[in-house]
Structures are given as C-alpha cells and as structure tokens.
C-alpha cells in the first residue's frame, strides 16, 4: 500500500499515525512525497483511493484530466479506483452563497465546533470555503483553527467525461446528502475500473491493436522527407507516408493552394448538377497527363474507392451493351487493391477474407509473374508468358469484363512485371474485348520515373486508377480515368455511372492535386525520381553482403529489398519476427521503411536528396549487420 502527498507535514502526520498501528500493517505501507499528476510509481495497484474532494483541488480541466490519467496508468487491469466529490446544483449554489453556517460533531478527544461559509465565483466554476474551527477538549481547553480552500465545482457530467478520457469506466455511483446550513449538497462516491486500453481509443488499419499503444510512432511534424515524433526524434521517411508524399511534407505551394481554395469555396459537390473549378481543371489536367485513350475522369476519395468504381464501371459497360454475362473481373494472385468489399475481393494479399463472407462474387485470381514462383529451369520471362497464357485461357470463357493489375506489384514486394508479359496481356485483352484496368494508385505521379508506369511499355489501358501521389497525400483523393469508348457507351445509353459520394470532387482536395502536379512539373520531379531511384537502387545492391538480403528490385523511387533465411534448398522467406526486428532496428536509428511480407519497401518523396539516401543506407547497413548475428546458423 502506498500513500502519496505533496506536503511533507501531512506525510509526517500520517507517519506518526502509522506508528500506532501493528507492525504487520506498518510493513505493508509506504508513504512518499510527490505530485500525483506527474510522479511515476514502479508498481500498479488493485485499489486506488483519492481522499475526500481531491479532484476539486485542481482548478482546470487539463490538471483534473492529468490526475485521472495518472490514476489510470497506475491501476492494474481489473483494479478499482474510488473517490468522492461534491455535486453542486444551481439551487444549492444559490442557497449557500454568502451564508455562514455552524456545525458541531464529536471528535476522538473532545468535540469540534465550526463556523463556515461559502463564496462562489461569479461564473459558479469554483467555491471558496472558509472554516473557523474549534477543537474543545473535555477539560474545556480550546484550540482554534482557521482555514480557507478553493474547490472546483465539478459537474457529474464533466466528471464522467473526464473519466472516459482517462480510460476509466464508472462501475458504481452512490450519493449521500450533505446538509449545509439551510440547504443540502450532494456528496458523490464513485467507483471505477480501468477500461482496457481505452486511453488509446484510435483504431488502426489491419494490424491487431493488442500492443499498438506501446509501440506506435506518433508523428507531429514533417518537412520534406523528414518527420518528427512527439518525443522530438527525427526520422527520414523512406516510405513517403504510405507511398504518397511525392513532393515531400510541408510544401507551402500546396498548403497555400488548399487554404486559398477553402477561403473561396470550402465545399463543393458534383451531385445535383453542380460542379466546381478545381475539379474541372484537375480532370482536364489528368487527361492531359495520362496515356491515350483515357479521356474522362471520375474523382473518388481513395485508391480503394477507385478500384470499387472500376469493377462497377467494367460491369456497367457490358451490361449496357446487353452482355450481363460478362461480369467477371480477373486479378493477379499477388495483388493489393484495397480494403472495401470490391477492392478486398480483388486483393490476393488479404488475410482470411472468409471472415467477411459472403464476399462479392465474380472476382477470380490468375497467376501473377512473381519471381518467387518461377519454376526451376525457367526464366522469369518464360514464366511470365506462361502466366499470360493462363490469363488467356480464363478469358476465353467469354464471361470476363475486365482484367485488373498493378503494373509494378507494390505490396507483393515491388515486382516490376516483365515487358513481355505486359505487352502480351494488352494483346490478349484487346483480342478478347476485355477491359484492361491498370491500378496506378502506387505507381502514378512520377513514382517509377515516368508520370505513369504504363508509359514504360507504351500500355494503353481502358481504365486507370489513381490516388496517393495525386495530391502528394495532402488530402484524401483518388481518380478513375476511363476511355472515350466507355464514355460513348454511357452517353449512347443516357446512363449515369451509378456511383457517388459526398466528397467526390471536393474542391480543396482537387486544389491540392493541381498544386502538387504543378510542383512535380516545375521541379522536374519525374526525371529526378528516375535519376535518384537509379542511385538508391545501386546503393541498395551493396546490401547483398548480408546473408539475408535475397534481392533488390524496383523502378524509379519504388524499391524493394527481399529478405530470406536459411541456405541452399532451405532458403525461405524471412520470418515475420526477424523482419519486424530489422524494421524496428532501422526505425530506432531514425529511418521509417514500409514492410511487405518478405522484406522492406522504399517509396520516399521524389524530392529526396542523395545525402538523405546515404543516411538511409548507413542505417540499413547498421541494422542489417546488427540483426545478422547467428543468422545462417540459426536458420539453416
């Protein structure tokens, strides 16, 4: 049992009282001096009690919250926290204000007679209590005490809200009438438990939340490729957030454009026949940048939404032409396209989709040319052509509306699909009238050293899906670009697109995109990505000196480091524990990367400098060297 007080005198009184108790009790009690809003005790407790009215001694909400957070952080799971406070109502405030009352009650060595009065602040937020107290001994001797204390008037609603914010949950409330002169206040006794992990109410995507609170990196500031956490630690963000920050953080051109747009028109919808200038200009700009035959643009709120719409639009295109049987969408068995029902459905790298069954029907995986699956004795190109042949076989059923793919598999480990495969796939789709849908959510906007990855092989997709780098990740935005032919079918049938969301075409998001595209153009960031990407890639090759580096892959500033364990025929993908160890070793040295199932990926801002890449390399060298110890021995 621990007792805490800020006052040395009070602790002295308690210590003297403690000495009157049996030795067995004394042994279990520790008294310490400290401020309960800041001191850290080593242990956690099953029971914590705040003495009468202590919370009311703190005069602002922040301090009261701090006190309760302190309690919460020291309470064992399932433990109890008990305290009391006075609940003042408008009526009893009125009745008490300025009154002098008397009270008398017995004390261990005599009796106590008090005169007391209350004066409320004009805003009724606090009350000053004045006490004149006499301790009257049986022999008639009197001791006189004068005290004044200012207490906060805390409302029960505020108390409940503070407890919630501190991660505590009220389990019992009791009240007792507290007579005061000619009125009665209410003394509230509350009991609480710690709501497990509730102090961290934010839920994150995908990962289980069990240890998130202890390990989370909370970023508070960013500038270029650098970010800072709330402890002031600096990192190079080698993953560009989630592969999005093409122009780097904190660009005044983009921030000012958004602020200016918000001042002019802060919200705009494309529903009900309305439009806005940034949305119209962005659509024109995207068509100008994108490969032919893309000529129309639907603005979405994310990559996942773009994929969702691509599935719908592909089906709609054939349905309007009287071919409803053509509704199947094929995707690669190493794909990532998002987490909504449609986009999850076409994402192969999604753990246990059956948790969400029944799933969207009509979505089928086809083999992806992934280097990990190339059979012995076959080249990557040969294997890729074999995958293309399988695609054609599936398409021949006559029920396929679209084939969806990432031109560079991002989440599967930054795999650049072979040129022969891409050319063949385009040919197959054209031959069978199947729509070719390129997901350029990760590869767009200069990431691969071209505006879009399609340009490397001269691909002419029927639909192209964008997000992330579209506005350098400054605000949520995505886009679906589609061909004049698809537009024609909609127009001929006087058909709408059957899709819409309140933020589609949001003017501030579009203004951010126009400004970000302006920065990419003015600063030549596409060519720079190709050049810096080449440098980064060459430097990553150095890491082959470590036994667990299996491959370096990528295009432009989209790079992947494949890691493996074991040797020879025992070679296998790195274990999640080891990968996590390497990721954390780099993070602790100030470099944020992004893991894929068997390695680390690098998608930095296109503005990253060679010096910053050198720092990343230094950290990777040290992190890999540190985690290589016993690698072969342990895993062979």
Q: How far is CA 494 from CA 317, 462, 488, 530, in A?
A: 12, 20, 10, 43
Residue 443 or 627: which CB sits closer to ligand PLP?
443
CB of 440: closest distance to ligand PLP in angstroms?
Answer: 8
Residue 606 near residue 529 (C-beta atoms within 8 A): yes
Residue 593 or 627: which CB sits closer to ligand PLP?
593
The secondary structure of 556-599 as a DSSP string is: TTEEEEEEEES-GGG-EEPPHHHHHHHHHHHHHTTEE-EEETTE
Position among 410, 473, 554, 599 found at the interface with ligand PLP (CB under 6 A): 410
Closest-CB residue for ligand PLP? 303
Residues 541-600 that bind ligand PLP (CB under 6 A): none
Position among 167, 240, 291, 303 found at the interface with ligand PLP (CB under 6 A): 303
Position among 291, 338, 461, 533 found at the interface with ligand PLP (CB under 6 A): 338
d(CA 453, CA 442): 10
Residue 456 or 578: which CB sits closer to ligand PLP?
456
Q: Does 92 bind ligand PLP (CB under 6 A)?
A: no
Strand order in the sheet with 183-194: 45-49, 75-87, 183-194, 168-180
Position among 83, 116, 336, 474 found at the interface with ligand PLP (CB under 6 A): 336
Query: What does DSSP assign to residue 155?
Result: -
Q: Does 406 bind ligand PLP (CB under 6 A)?
A: yes
CB of 504: closest distance to ligand PLP in angstroms?
Answer: 14
d(CA 2, CA 86): 25
Residue 195 near residue 167 (C-beta atoms within 8 A): yes
**Segments of 432-501 assigned E as strands:** 435-439, 463-466, 478-483
Q: Does 439 bind ligand PLP (CB under 6 A)?
A: yes
* No. of helices (H) and no. of strands (E), the chain: 19, 28
Stretch near ligand PLP under the rule CB under 6 A, chosen from 335-343, 533-541, 579-587, 588-596: 335-343
Q: Does 442 bind ligand PLP (CB under 6 A)?
A: yes
Residues 239-298 that bind ligand PLP (CB under 6 A): 242
* Residue with token string 């009724």: 124
Residue 469 or 573: which CB sits closer to ligand PLP?
469
Residue 412 near residue 368 (C-beta atoms within 8 A): yes
Residue 152 or 405: which CB sits closer to ligand PLP?
405
Query: What does DSSP assign to residue 417?
Result: P
Residue 193 or 300: which CB sits closer to ligand PLP?
300
How many residues belong to the site for ligand PLP (CB under 6 A)? 15
Angle made by CA atoms 303, 307, 309, in degrees to the nearest 5: 115
Residue 185 or 402: which CB sits closer to ligand PLP?
402
CB of 348: closest distance to ligand PLP in angstroms?
Answer: 12
Position among 193, 246, 249, 304 found at the interface with ligand PLP (CB under 6 A): 304
The pairing of beta strand 126-136 with beta strand 110-120: antiparallel
Residue 386 near residue 374 (C-beta atoms within 8 A): no
Backbone φ, ψ for residue 22 (5° rounding):
-60, 150
d(CA 376, CA 237): 38
Stretch near ligand PLP under the rule CB under 6 A, chosen from 279-287, 406-414, 501-509, 603-611: 406-414
Residue 193 or 343: which CB sits closer to ligand PLP?
343
The pairing of beta strand 30-33 with beta strand 2-5: parallel
Q: Does 467 bind ligand PLP (CB under 6 A)?
A: yes
Q: Does 302 bind ligand PLP (CB under 6 A)?
A: yes
Q: Does 441 bind ligand PLP (CB under 6 A)?
A: yes
Stretch near ligand PLP under the rule CB under 6 A, chosen from 110-118, 134-142, 436-444, 619-627: 436-444
Which residues contribute to the site for ligand PLP (CB under 6 A)?
Answer: 242, 302-304, 307, 336-338, 406, 410-411, 439, 441-442, 467
């Amino acid at each position: 049992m621990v007792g805490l007080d800020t006052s040395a005198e009070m602790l002295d009184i308690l210590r003297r009282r403690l000495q009157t108790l049996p030795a067995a009790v004394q042994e279990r009690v520790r008294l310490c001096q400290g401020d309960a809003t800041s001191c850290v005790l080593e242990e956690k407790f099953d029971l914590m009690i705040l003495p009468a009215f202590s919370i009311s001694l703190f005069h602002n909400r922040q301090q009261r919250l701090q006190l309760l957070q302190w309690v919460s952080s020291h309470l064992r799971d399932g433990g109890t926290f008990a305290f009391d406070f006075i609940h003042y109502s408008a009526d009893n405030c009125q009745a008490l204000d300025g009154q002098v009352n008397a009270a008398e009650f017995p004390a261990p060595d005599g009796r106590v007679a008090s005169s007391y009065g209350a004066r409320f602040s004009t805003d009724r937020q606090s009350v000053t209590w004045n006490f004149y107290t006499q301790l009257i001994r049986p022999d008639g001797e009197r001791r006189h005490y004068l005290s004044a204390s200012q207490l906060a008037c805390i409302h029960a609603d505020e108390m409940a809200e503070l407890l919630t914010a501190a991660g505590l949950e009220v389990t019992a409330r009791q009240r007792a009438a507290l007579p005061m002169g000619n009125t009665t206040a209410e003394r509230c006794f509350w009991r609480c438990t710690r709501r497990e992990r509730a102090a961290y109410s934010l839920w994150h995507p995908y990962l289980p939340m069990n240890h998130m609170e202890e390990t989370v990196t909370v970023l508070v500031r960013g500038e270029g490729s650098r970010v800072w956490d709330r402890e002031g630690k600096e990192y190079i963000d080698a993953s560009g957030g989630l592969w999005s920050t093409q122009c780097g953080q904190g660009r005044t051109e983009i921030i000012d454009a958004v602020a200016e747009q918000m001042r002019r028109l802060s919200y705009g919808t494309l529903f009900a026949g309305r439009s806005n200038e940034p949305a119209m200009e962005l659509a024109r700009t995207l068509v100008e940048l994108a490969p032919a035959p893309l000529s129309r643009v639907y603005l979405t709120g994310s990559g996942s939404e773009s994929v969702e719409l691509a599935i719908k639009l592909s089906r709609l295109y054939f349905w309007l032409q009287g071919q409803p049987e053509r509704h199947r969408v094929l995707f690669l068995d190493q794909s990532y396209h998002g987490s909504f029902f449609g986009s999850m459905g076409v994402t192969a790298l999604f753990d246990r989709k059956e948790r969400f069954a029944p799933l969207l029907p009509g979505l089928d995986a086809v083999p992806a040319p992934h280097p990990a699956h190339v059979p012995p004795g076959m080249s990557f190109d040969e294997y890729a052509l074999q995958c293309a042949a399988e695609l054609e076989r599936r398409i021949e059923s006559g029920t396929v509306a679209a084939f969806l793919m990432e031109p560079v598999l991002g989440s599967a480990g930054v795999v650049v699909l072979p040129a022969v495969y891409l050319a063949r796939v385009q040919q197959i789709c054209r031959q069978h009238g199947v729509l070719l849908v390129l997901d350029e959510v990760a590869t767009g906007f200069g990431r691969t050293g071209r505006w879009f990855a399609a340009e490397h092989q001269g691909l002419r997709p029927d639909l192209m899906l964008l997000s992330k780098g579209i506005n350098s990740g400054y605000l949520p935005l995505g886009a679906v670009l589609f061909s004049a032919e698809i537009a024609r079918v909609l127009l001929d049938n006087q058909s709408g697109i059957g899709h819409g969301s309140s933020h589609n075409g949001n003017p501030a998001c579009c203004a951010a995109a126009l400004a970000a595209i302006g920065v990419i153009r003015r600063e030549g960031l596409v060519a720079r990505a190709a050049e810096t990407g080449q440098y980064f890639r060459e430097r990553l090759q150095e890491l082959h000196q470590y036994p667990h580096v299996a491959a370096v892959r990528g295009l432009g500033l989209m790079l992947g480091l494949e890691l493996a364990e074991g040797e020879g025929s025992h070679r296998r993908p790195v274990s999640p524990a080891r990968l996590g160890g390497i990721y954390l070793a780099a993070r602790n040295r100030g470099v944020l990367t992004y893991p894929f199932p068997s390695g680390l990926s690098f998608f930095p801002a296109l503005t990253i400098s060679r010096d910053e890449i050198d720092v990343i390399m230094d950290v990777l060298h040290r992190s890999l060297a540190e985690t290589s110890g016993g690698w072969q021995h342990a895993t062979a």
